[in-house]
Structures are given as structure tokens and as C-alpha cells.
Structure 1
Amino acid sequence: MTSTTARIAFVAPFGLGQKTTVWARTLPLARHLAQRGHVVSLVIPPWDTPGDAGKNWNDGGVEVVQVQIQGGVFPTIRRMLHYLGDFRPDIVHVVKPRAHAGLVQWWLWQRRRLETGERINPQSPVSSLRSPRPMILLDIDDWEQAWAPINRYAWPVARFLAWQEEWGIRHADGITAASRWLVERAQRYTPQTPVLYLPNGIQDSGYEIRDTNYESRVTNSGSRNTQSITRVLFYTRFVEVEPVWLGEFWRSLYERRPDVRLVVAGAPLHPGRERVYQEAVEQASPTAAHQVEWLGFVRGDQQTELYSLATCAIFPALPVPLQQAKCSVRLATTLLNGVPVVASAVGEQAAYGADGAARLVDPAATPPQFAEAVVDLLARPAEQQAMITTARLHLNRNYLWAKLGDSLVSFYKQWL
């Protein structure tokens, strides 16, 4: 390694499927590091996309390595470790302290302990283990324990993943965190460990691409789309609010604006969960249920049209760890696509929507109060267009991957 070049390996917990972390967060950061002259690889155990096993390619200067997965978890981890041994990284950046990636982190830490012959101080598990390479960094973009009830993990699995998450945070040379909530949580577990706030970003080209699309949608009357139908888009994983919340919100919105349609897009983590929300909407307002469109999963090539037909979008969220910890790529994408947003000021939503980029609603707002904010925004087309401009400027000023990648490079320097 020279003073300006490092060998960096990102270790993923899953493949490039519907889970967004690797392709929406890790890869953009890895590409930027490669552009800065570092030698970068991304090691993936594609258990969720088994057709990708064994396929390797170069992505923007990043060597993407998808190991074979025959034999189950431990043979797969052995292959990941074998690759790391050949690659000889200066830094191993673990993506989420769970599953395959978390076990790779555990093994690397134990090997370091054995090689140095030093014992871990339970009160300060990091301080005595900083010298041997590779340096072990951890990236966290969710509070995984909050997902256990939603994913319906059996108790032993939930307990193991909780242990893995907490152990991973306590046994890293440095931590990158996608939300301020996660920064605070990491510092609580391991006050001595350097932590970098590193939210999810946007591509440099997003602003220019969306501008031309937006202009083509504006009619002479100033309406945001070329159709007379007012559509409120709710892109969801069916975890942001409770079903009864959605039912009460829709009833309140429909009472004030019976011309509005609610468009619900997205697929639940567990098939069938959407039916609970559909039933809640029907029970809350039987006469208005026909005004709700349930789209389900929307492919990437369909999303531009979906955004183009939306008058505004909503991002309600309960003030709970599941929502406070995350950093929503979907919210940033919606703002960049020229859709005015009404969002609960919960976690990173408050940061993305700051300075007028979105209409922020108090986290404690009731469903009728949230609906009132939507009604008010729908009545202000000039404010909608001003928000679009403000949102793009805000995101491009603060969330470009190039800027965030530079902050990661600076963070790495303390170990290089």
C-alpha cells in the first residue's frame, strides 16, 4: 500500500436482489473509492439470488465477487474468507453485522486476537486490538433487532441476530452509520470507537435527468401532471404505520377531498400482510375504498410513470426504532423525481425534508392531522413547485455520493 492507495474489501450479508443496501448504498460508495484510486472489491454471498453464485464482474472499478453457495452457510463463509486472504485488504468494511457478513467479522476479530496474543478487555473491547491488518470497519443502516417481530424470527434466531448485532458494534475499529439514531446507539455501546455519520446518497446525474421529465409534465394551468385526477402516492413496505393508522388517515383525507385517489405501491416483506391494511381501509371508510389503488410491487422500469402521475407522496412513520434508525432511499428518490412530499419528521426523514424540501409533520401527529397537512399542500400548487426545486437543491448540496464518499475516504485515513 502507498500513502494514497488502499486495498478495501466490502463484505455483504446478501446479494443484489430486492434488499436495497448493497446496490443502493454499498456499491455507490465502493465505486467512489475506486474512482479515487483505491483497489476495491465487494464480496457477496448470494444466498437470496442463487443464480448469481460464481459470477464476478467489474462495476465502475469495483471487483464484484459472488462466491459459490453450495453446502450452506459455513462453506460459503469459508469461500469468502479464502477470497479475502488472497485479496489481502488493508480495510475490511462489513456491511451489516449479521448473517454471513457478521460471521466473517467475528472470524477476523478472533484471528486478530489469536495472532496478537492479547486478551479482549470486556470493558473496552476495541482499544487493545487496533494494530494488525486488516482493519475491521462496520457499516450499519438499520437497527436489525427492530425487524425481528416483522420477520417473524423464531426466538433462538432473533436472539442470535441480536447478539450478533451488538457484538459487531462492540468489535470494530470504526463504524459508519446511515442515521443519527444509529450513530447515537453505536456510541452508547462503544464510546471509544470512531463513528462516522454516513447517510444514503444520490447520484450526481439525478438532478439533471429529472428536470426534463418534470417540465414535460407541467400543464399550462400549473398542475403537476397532465391528468385531472389527484393522486396521493404511498410507497410502502407495510411497516411504517399500523393498519388502523392508514384507515383513519384515508377516511380523514377522503372526507376533505373526495376527489383524491390514494395509490398504494410496494410489496410487504411477508405476502398477505397488505390484506390487513386493505381491510383497515375498507372498515374505516367503506364508501371510499374504491378510491384506493393497490399496485403491489412496482418494477424499476415502471417507477418513472408512477412518479409522473403522483400529485404528491406521503411518508408517514411512527417514532419507533425501526423508523428512526433507517435512512430511506425511497424518500430521496421520490423527492428527486419531482414529487412533493408530506412526511413525518421521524429520523432521517426530517433531515431529507429539511429547509422546505418536504412538508414535515410532527411525529406525534394523528392520522387526521397528517391528512390535513396533505389537504393543505394539495391546495397550494405554487408551494408544490417551490418544494420540488428546494428538494433538489437540498439533496444535491448535502447528499451527493461524491461528497459522502469523500467523507468516507477522510474517515479511513486514521487507519491508513
Structure 2
Amino acid sequence: RVNVMLRIAFVAPFGLGKKATVWARTLPLARALVAKDCHASVIIPPWDTPEDAGKAWMDEGVEVINVGLRGGLPFVVARMVGEARRLRPDIVHIVKPRAHAGLLQWLFWNFRSGSRPRLVLDVDDWEQAWAPIAGYAPPMAAFLAWQEMWGYRHADGITAASGWLVHKARSLAPHTPCLYLPNGVAPTEAQALHRPRAFDPGRPRTVLWFTRFVEVEPEWMAACWQALHALDPDLHLLVAGAPLQPGRDHAFRRAMGRDDPSITWLGYVPSDALPDLYARSDCAIFPAASTPLNLAKCSVKVATTLLAGTPVVASAVGEQARYGAGGAARLVDAEASPAAFARAVIEHLARPEERLRQVKIAREQLLTRYNWSRLTTDLLTFYRLLAG
């Protein structure tokens, strides 16, 4: 089957809204597969982008199919199953073992004919770690936890976005092949993200903090900001991101000073506004506690920030340590205190030559090791191994 075109159907749990997985991971993978002469489709239940319901389009050769939402969950899943069968794929790649995608995985595993299609599960988070943050009711949290555990144990193969998730997959399903598949970048993104920094002698040094308000506790971040401000009273902080659970940012605003003129709370920043945001920032920070949630994820924002040419200071936690390895980022010990993290930021800001060297290393590393085309070569080899 080496020269036979593979047909792959990705099955998503949500649409192309603020949740990043489908547009930042699934679609780039599908596009890169099409570039390697595969047929790739993405089946979406667009409950979070209802304006897309019933619509289909081509995205760089990828067939994007948004099923209708009428009738509720059973009918939506039935439409997804119908689309997957119509496509006659060799591989059905489940995007997260939860909700609509997890239900389709259950149906295909229990009712498929023979060994076709092969079922591959893609994991880029430890979903159970999000349950208390998302505020799910106990029955919903229990169901999603069951889906996750069942999903790991009922797949022909698993792709995992982090080393932590690879270890989890091998512990839960030791006989299931597993591929480490981190989030990647495309060379075209580097040009799209970059804006030259205008020299402004009157502008204070500016630090960008991307957050979903889950990476560290409010008290930790408040202590870090106090230490930063003590070391550089003129420093300005840009806070970019929206909480998964509305209102979760309130504790951070209270702890850090909701009326502090040195902090600008930006909220959710759309992708087309990122280049200008990067151009305003002298460096970006990614503090993170060593928790299952942070160890499991593979942050797209860390990769895109490095690719944009913005120097990064990050906790050496999970995939952040891999992205920042070899001098691509200033890595801070995972157990560092808020004051120690703040000192690392100020030291980094004081070393412009080091920051320039870091930017060069980061881009070279991302465009080689994390290039979507190279990552998809590994994925295609994995698919062919499973397809036989």
C-alpha cells in the first residue's frame, strides 16, 4: 500500500471558534497530508460556531464538513457518522476522546465491519484536568472522564501532543501503538506573524503574558508581578487571553490590581491582531506550575510566539521545556518562586544580544524539528503501519 492514496477523516468535538485544537492542530495536519497526496477531511459538530452549521468548503485541499445541528446530540452524531461512512476513509482520526467525537469513536469501534477503518485517537490535553475549571456538573464530568479512559483503551493507534500524554497512553493502553506528535508550525506563519518593532525611546519595556488563567494561581502571579514592578517600576504588562470559565480572571485582576495603570487587560486576541501585539512586546512570559494540566498540553501560543520572533521566558514545564530547549527560550526552573521568575525576566530584558540569539535559534529549531511537513511525514508512516 506504499503508493496508494490514503483517505483520512478527522472527527472533531467542536468547531472553528475560540477553542484552538481544530484550527491550530487538526487543520494544519490535514493540509500537510493533502500536500503529501492524501485525501483528508474534517467532520465538525459546530455547536460553538452555529453559523457554520450545514456548511462545507475546501481549505487548501481539505474538505471541511460542518454537520447540521437540528434535533440535538443524537441527530448531530448520526449526521457525523453518515459523513464519515460516505467518505469511506482508511483512517478515522478522532480529535479528543470526548463529546461528539468520543461518541463516534464508540460507535465505529463497536459496529465497524472488520478492521476498517482504522481508528486513531489524537490527544492534546488531559481532559479530566479541565473538569473542575470548566465547572461541569458531576454527571457530565463523570461521563467525560469515562469517555477519556474508554477512548484510550479502544483505538488502533494514538497520537499524543506531549511527552506526558505519550506516557499516559502507554500506561493506559500498553499494547496500542503511540506516536509523539507535538503541535507544529508552517514556514508561511513566520512571515505572517512578524512585524518590525518601531523604535520608541519613550515607550516603557513591555512584557506580554498569554494566559487562560489556569497555568498558575492568582497569588503566585500577583507575587511575580510585584517582584517585576519592584525591579523595574516602569515596566508595562499586557495580559492576553480569555478564561475558559467566564469570571475566572476576576481573582487575577483582584490579586494583581484591577486598576493598576501598568497592566493592560486585553482579553481574547484574534489571530489577525497577534502581529501588532508581538511588535509591542519586548518579551513574552509563560509561567506554569508543574500540574497534570500544564504537563499534558502542548501550547500553540508558545510555538507561535517563538516563531514571531518575540523572546520568551517560560517555566521548564512539559512541552514548554522542549520548545525552549537549546537556547530557544529562557527556561526557568519548574519550581522557581515568583521572585526568581521575575528576576529571570528582568535579566533577560537587560541582555538584547542574548534575546536576538534566542530568536534565531527558536526559528531555526521550529522550522526544522516542528515543521508541520516533517511531523506529517512521521504521521503518514504511522498511518501506513496501522493500515497494513
TM-score of the superposed pair, with normalisation by structure 2: 0.96
Identity of aligned residues (%): 54
For 2:64 and 2:106, the matched residues in 1 are separated by 22
Native 8 Å contact 1:204 1:402 kept in 2: no
After superposition, the CA RMSD in angstroms is 1.6
Over residues 265-307 of structure 1, what are the superposed CA-to-partner deviations in whole Å (9 max), with x where a residue is unaligned?
A: 1111122221210111139xx9xx3211111122222221111
Over residues 279-338 of structure 1, what are the superposed CA-to-partner deviations in whole Å (9 max), with x where a residue is unaligned?
A: 11139xx9xx32111111222222211110101110000100000000000011111111
How far 1:394 sits from its partner (Å)?
A: 1.2
Q: 2:266 aligns with which of 295, 318, 331?
A: 295
Matched residue type, 1:74: P
1:349 aligns with 2:329: no
1:167 aligns with 2:150: yes
For 2:70 and 2:177, the matched residues in 1 are separated by 37
Q: 1:134 aligns with which of 117, 133, 144?
A: 117
Q: Which residue number corresponds to residue 228 of structure 1?
A: 203
Q: Which residue number corresponds to residue 406 of structure 1?
A: 377
For 2:357 and 2:198, the matched residues in 1 are separated by 13
1:149 aligns with 2:137: no
Q: Which runs of 4+ in 1 moved over 4 A?
A: 208-211
For 2:23 and 2:193, the matched residues in 1 are separated by 21
Q: Which residue number corresponds to residue 97 of structure 1?
A: 97
Q: 1:166 aligns to what SS in structure 2?
A: helix
Matched residue type, 2:210: Y
For 2:85 and 2:277, the matched residues in 1 are separated by 46
Q: 1:256 aligns with which of 216, 223, 231?
A: 231
Q: Which residue number corresponds to residue 9 of structure 1?
A: 9
For 1:294 and 1:235, the matched residues in 2 are separated by 11
Over residues 241-269 of structure 1, what are the superposed CA-to-partner deviations in whole Å (9 max), with x where a residue is unaligned?
A: 10001110011111111110111111111
Q: 2:219 aligns with which of 216, 228, 244?
A: 244
Q: Which residue number corresponds to residue 390 of structure 1?
A: 361
Matched residue type, 2:9: A
For 1:151 and 1:321, the matched residues in 2 are separated by 15
Q: Following superposition of structure 1 onto structure 2, how do residues 142-221 of structure 1 map, counting pairs within 5 Å?
A: 142-209=125-192, 213=195, 216-217=196-197, 219=199
Q: Which residue number corresponds to residue 80 of structure 2?
A: 80
TM-score of the superposed pair, with normalisation by structure 1: 0.90
For 2:272 and 2:177, the matched residues in 1 are separated by 40
Native 8 Å contact 1:217 1:226 kept in 2: no
How far 1:217 sits from its partner (Å)?
A: 2.0
Over residues 176-213 of structure 1, what are the superposed CA-to-partner deviations in whole Å (9 max), with x where a residue is unaligned?
A: 000000000000001100000000000122334556x3
Matched residue type, 1:51: E
Native 8 Å contact 1:236 1:265 kept in 2: yes
Q: 2:186 aligns to what SS in structure 1?
A: coil
Name structure 2 gaps, 5 residues minimum: none
Q: Which residue number corresponds to residue 287 of structure 2?
A: 316
Q: How many residues align?
A: 387
Over residues 112-168 of structure 1, what are the superposed CA-to-partner deviations in whole Å (9 max), with x where a residue is unaligned?
A: 3xx5xxxxxxxxxxxxxxx62011000000000000000011111111100100100
Structure showing greater radius of gyration is 1
Name structure 1 gaps, 5 residues minimum: 116-130, 220-224
Native 8 Å contact 1:210 1:337 kept in 2: yes
For 1:37 and 1:227, the matched residues in 2 are separated by 53
For 1:88 and 1:36, the matched residues in 2 are separated by 19
For 1:308 and 1:208, the matched residues in 2 are separated by 13
